[in-house]
Amino acid sequence: MNVTNLLEIQAGNLLHERGLKLVLAESCTGGLLGSRITDVPGSSEYFLGSVVAYAYEAKADLLGVSWDTLNTKGAVSSETVLEMARGIRDLMKADIAISVSGIAGPGGGTPDKPVGTTWIGLVTRKGEWAQIFHFSGDREQNKNFAVEAALKMLLDCLQADQA
């Protein structure tokens, strides 16, 4: 495990110490965030699981994202990531849910949502947050940037006692 894994170790320690359970709903990261979480030995103590919901149908059918949201706001929006996070949190009865949806590239971008645009949602018992990021790497880099940003959001939330 290298230094880039520090975020998931720190977050994992706090989740374990507080007895909190984490779930994920991933789109553009395709399971990479869940992979990073499970790289930490003992993560089964706090990580319940992840759903990779790439297509609109998966977001709607598995996570309960409304078709109205998907059709009017798109998959890459604050509304969608919050609905994804609420859906997986409710489904798995977890304390914390993180969701990620973005345009990793190289195609798929628009003037309003260029390649690299990524929304990350975080839902806990104490609140809901959605944050937009604009990454400028290639597909693999953008996915890794999104994972780092999600882990940082999780750690910040835990350190601020917002879980």
- Per-residue pLDDT tens digits for 64-86: 999 999 999 999 999 999 999 99
Distance CA 38, CA 135 (A): 24
Residue 1 has pLDDT above 70, yes or no: no
Contact between 100 and 29 under an 8 Å Cβ cutoff? The reply is yes
DSSP state of 118: E
Residue matched to tokens 């509304």: 79
Contact between 37 and 22 under an 8 Å Cβ cutoff? The reply is yes
Identify the band that residue 21 occupies on the pLDDT scale cut at 50, 70 and 90.
Answer: very high
Domains for the chain: give ranges and CATH numbers: 3-159 (3.90.950.20)
**Planar angle of CA 162, 119, 1, nearest 5 degrees:** 70
The alpha carbon dihedral of 34, 52, 114, 112 has a sign of negative
The pLDDT value given to residue 161: 93
The two three-digit tokens of residue 31, written as one number: 């399971």
Mean pLDDT of 88-109: 97
Helices and strands per DSSP (H, E), number in the chain? 6, 5
Q: Where are the alpha helices (DSSP H) in the chain?
A: 6-18, 32-38, 56-63, 67-73, 78-92, 139-159
Residue matched to tokens 């598995």: 62
Q: Is 25 helix (H, G, I), strand (E, B) or coil?
A: strand
Q: Is 97 helix (H, G, I), strand (E, B) or coil?
A: strand
- Per-residue pLDDT tens digits for 99-128: 999 999 999 999 999 999 999 999 999 999
Q: Is 89 exposed, middle or buried (0-12, 13-18, 19+ CB in 10 A)?
A: buried
Distance CA 10, CA 2 (A): 13
The pLDDT value given to residue 3: 42
